[in-house]
Amino acid sequence: MPLVAAAGLLTAARERRGAVAAFNVITLEHVEAVLEGAERAGVPVILQISENAVRYRRADPLPLARAATAAAEAAAVPAALHLDHVRDPELLRRAAEAGCSSVMVDASHLPYRDNLAACAAAARWARANGLWTEAELGVVGGKDGEPPPDPHHPEARTDPEAARAFTAASGVDALAVAIGSRHAMTTPVAALDHALLARLAERVPVPLVLHGSSGVPAAELAAAVRGGITKVNIGTALNVALTTGVRAALVGDTEVVDPRRWLADGRSAMAATAARLAALVHRPPPGPEAPRPAPPVARPHPTPHPPARGSDEEPP
Q: Which residues are catalytic?
A: 84
The one-letter amino acid at 129: N
Measure the CA–CA gap between 175 and 159, rounded to whole angstroms.
12
If we measure between CA atoms, which residue out of 57, 69, 60, 83 comes closest to residue 31? 69
Q: Which residues contact 138 (CB under 8 A, 6 or more apart)?
A: 108, 155, 156, 157, 158, 159, 176, 177, 178, 179
Beta strands in 9-60 (DSSP E): 20-24, 45-50
* First vs last C-alpha separation in the chain: 33
- SS3 (DSSP) at 205: coil
- Cα-flanking dihedrals φ and ψ of residue 194, to 5°? -75, -30
Measure the CA–CA gap between 247 and 182, rounded to whole angstroms.
25
Measure the CA–CA gap between 271 and 95, rounded to whole angstroms.
26
Helices (H) and strands (E) in the chain, counts: 11, 8
| Crossing angle for the helix pair 236-252 and 259-282, to the nearest 10 degrees | 150
Which DSSP string corresponds to 73-113?
HT-SS-EEEEEEEE--HHHHHTTTTTT-SEEEE--TTS-HH
